[in-house]
């Protein structure tokens, strides 16, 4: 499999939250929604034939974000959920398998291997930067 490890998605979520908190005054609890947004797209792993097709596209992102907004009536939480999803899509776009952003047609992909050196470097760097931003 060539998808970014979950720990890298979590580290990137921490990085995104640190920026939102430090520079935009986002409350701490929005971190939960950024993390949820970064993990939920991989629920399609339970249906391997649909992985990166069912929940890894802009239509799914819009649908999930609207659903969260309708359930919570909180636009801020829905926004941060969408940011987490976008972060997930961006990271997965760096892998060999890539992401079909529109759910069809061409995919955007890179050459990153799951668990490889660059994946681990991303994880460590995102974690370190998140801690540094929060500590400053």
* Residue 1 domain-assigned (yes or no): no
Average pLDDT along the chain, 136 residues, taken 10 residues at a time: 72 95 93 95 84 86 96 96 96 88 80 84 94 92
The pLDDT value given to residue 107: 80
Into how many domains does the chain fold?
1
Report in angstroms the alpha-carbon separations of 88 from 20, 70, 80, 97, 108.
Answer: 16, 22, 12, 14, 13
List, as one string, the DSSP characters of 61-97: HHHHHHHHHHHH--HHHHHHHHHHHHHHHHHHHTBSS
Host domain of residue 118: 6-135
Q: What is the model's pLDDT at position 4?
A: 59
Q: What is the pLDDT of residue 2?
A: 40
**Does 13 map to a domain?**
yes
Asked if residue 82 is part of any domain, the answer here is yes
In a domain, 74, yes or no: yes
């Amino acid at each position: 499999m060539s998808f970014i490890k979950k720990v890298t998605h979590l580290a990137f979520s921490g990085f995104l939250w640190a920026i939102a908190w430090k520079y935009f005054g986002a409350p701490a609890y929005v971190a939960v929604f950024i993390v949820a947004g970064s993990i939920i797209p991989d629920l399609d792993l339970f249906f391997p034939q649909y992985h990166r097709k069912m929940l890894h596209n802009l239509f799914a992102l819009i649908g999930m974000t609207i659903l969260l907004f309708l359930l919570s009536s909180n636009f801020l939480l829905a926004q941060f959920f969408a940011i987490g999803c976008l972060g997930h899509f961006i990271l997965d776009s760096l892998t060999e398998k890539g992401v079909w952003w529109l759910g069809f047609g061409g995919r955007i992909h890179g050459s990153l291997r799951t668990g490889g050196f660059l994946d681990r470097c991303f994880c460590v760097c995102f974690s370190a930067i998140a801690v540094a931003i929060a500590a400053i």
